[in-house]
Amino acid sequence: MIASGFKRQQFEIFRSIFRDGATVTGDEFLRVMVRGLGNLLDAETTFVARAIDAPATAVRVLAAWKDGAEKKTWDYELTGNPCQLIYNGEPTLIPCDIGAQFPKKGESGYESFIGIPLRNLDGKIIGHIAIFSSKARHEDDFALEVAQLWGLRAETEVRRMIEREGRETEIRRLRETKKESDDMLAIASHDLRAPLSSVISTLAALQTGVFGEIPTSAGDYISKVQEVSESLLKMTNDILDQERLSSGHGNIARERILLVELIDAAMAPLQIYAKASHIEMRVGVDKTGIFVNGDRVLLERLLNNLLSNAIKFLPRNDFISITAEALADSIRVLVADHGPGVPQSYWNRIFERFSQVPTDKPGRNLDSGIGLSIAKSIAQAHGGDLTYEPNPGGGSQFVVDLPMSAKDI
């Protein structure tokens, strides 16, 4: 029994280790343990280490106590060291003459050695406790049992440390991979935007007759190419917006903006498509008195995405209404239509990336599926939100809440 080997002084030290170790974890516990074991077992050097390779040929000291003081950590090789014996799988006790057995490893000042293996849940040795003393032990069961007892707790702490490091390494790897992927996607999207814009401008010029009259059949092909090009440009802009938002909210500009200016800017590039489908965009917003606070480019994108989404779903000869109201400290913008609406089964995932509500309307399959997700991200990045609700009159209604300009509160 452990108690049989206790002297009064040893008992007090043991109780002190137990008390101090009960309230700490991780590195701090390991420091408490090696100091306590050094004092309790009258050992000049005690430390706990973990393997840094597999199979273990080298280890890293995590906490050390030597000659009455804490020591900095270090790495060392196991070959020719008494600690190598621990990795055979059993607690090790060399009662005397350790210096003669391992003369090349600086053990000449010690007489005895105790080594306790630390294992993971699979039974693999992941580290050890080492106790060196200038005194012979002569089969000192008390010292070996005490070391084994504290080894159980040390084992748990070292496992946690390794698991935490593994999680942190994986998180860093995933972040680096995501950043590389995002960077490549952003670069590709940026490089695509200029030629796409040029193609669209050229097609528009062809349709207006700048280069002369074109046959009707050719005009139909030009319209189709222009539609696809516009869709690709929107996907490109969506990707760039997503990359900008994911890089952090610190890049968001803040200015006082007249709301009707944002709405007009968001509507402008969509007029040709709305007109082609005989869809009217009706604005019922005070032209002088409602201001929002935020990034002009991103807020235009938010409204443009909502309007574009409505145009794609609405049948011909319909209309979209854009209204707004000032609340206590925010502006609420409503974008509503009287189209088919969104099936209830999609309400909970309408803002998920790449989520698309099924439709038979031509051209809808060219959409990136991230427009509404980006719109919601933009609203939230401004301290607001974007939500969906069915329009009481039939159809869909998107509710945008944005911060009011501080000057207007």
- Positive or negative CA dihedral for 132, 133, 134, 136? negative
Q: How far is CA 7 from the centre of its chain?
A: 54
Q: DSSP for 299-346?
A: HHHHHHHHHHHHHHHSPSS-EEEEEEEE-SSEEEEEEEE-SS---GGG
Residue 199 scores a pLDDT above 80: no
Residue 9 scores a pLDDT above 60: no
**CA nearest neighbour of 144 among 209, 85, 94, 198:** 94
For the chain, domain boundaries? 2-170, 251-408
Instruction: Match domain 2-170 to its CATH number in 3.40.50.1980, 3.30.450.40, 3.40.640.10, 1.10.287.130.
Output: 3.30.450.40
Residue 161 scores a pLDDT above 50: yes
Q: Are strands 319-326 and 280-284 parallel, antiparallel or unpaired?
A: parallel
- Asked whether this chain's domains 2-170 and 251-408 adopt the same fold, the reply is no
Using an 8 Å Cβ cutoff, are 11 and 22 in contact?
A: no
Residue 2's pLDDT is 46
Q: How far is CA 218 from the centre of its chain?
A: 50
| pLDDT band at residue 288 under the 50/70/90 scheme | confident
The whole-number average pLDDT for the span 281-295 is 86
Query: How far is the C-alpha of 183 from the C-alpha of 335, rounded, in Å?
Result: 33
Using an 8 Å Cβ cutoff, are 340 and 313 in contact?
A: yes
Residue-level length of the chain: 409
Q: How would you label 255-266 residue by residue, b for 16+ Cβ within 10 Å and e otherwise? A: eebbbbebbebb
Residue 1's pLDDT is 43
Using an 8 Å Cβ cutoff, are 236 and 189 in contact?
A: yes
Query: How far is the C-alpha of 358 from the C-alpha of 126, rounded, in Å?
Result: 54
| pLDDT band at residue 249 under the 50/70/90 scheme | very low
Question: How deeply is 148 buried, as exposed, middle or buried, from its count of CB atoms within 10 A (0-12, 13-18, 19+)?
Answer: middle
Residue 386's pLDDT is 94
| pLDDT band at residue 47 under the 50/70/90 scheme | very high
Residue 250's pLDDT is 45
| pLDDT band at residue 23 under the 50/70/90 scheme | confident
| CATH number 3.30.565.10 is the correct assignment for the domain at 251-408 | yes
**CA nearest neighbour of 43 among 94, 101, 1:** 94
Residue 5 scores a pLDDT above 60: no
Residue 354's pLDDT is 64
Query: How far is the C-alpha of 321 from the C-alpha of 281, rounded, in Å?
Result: 6
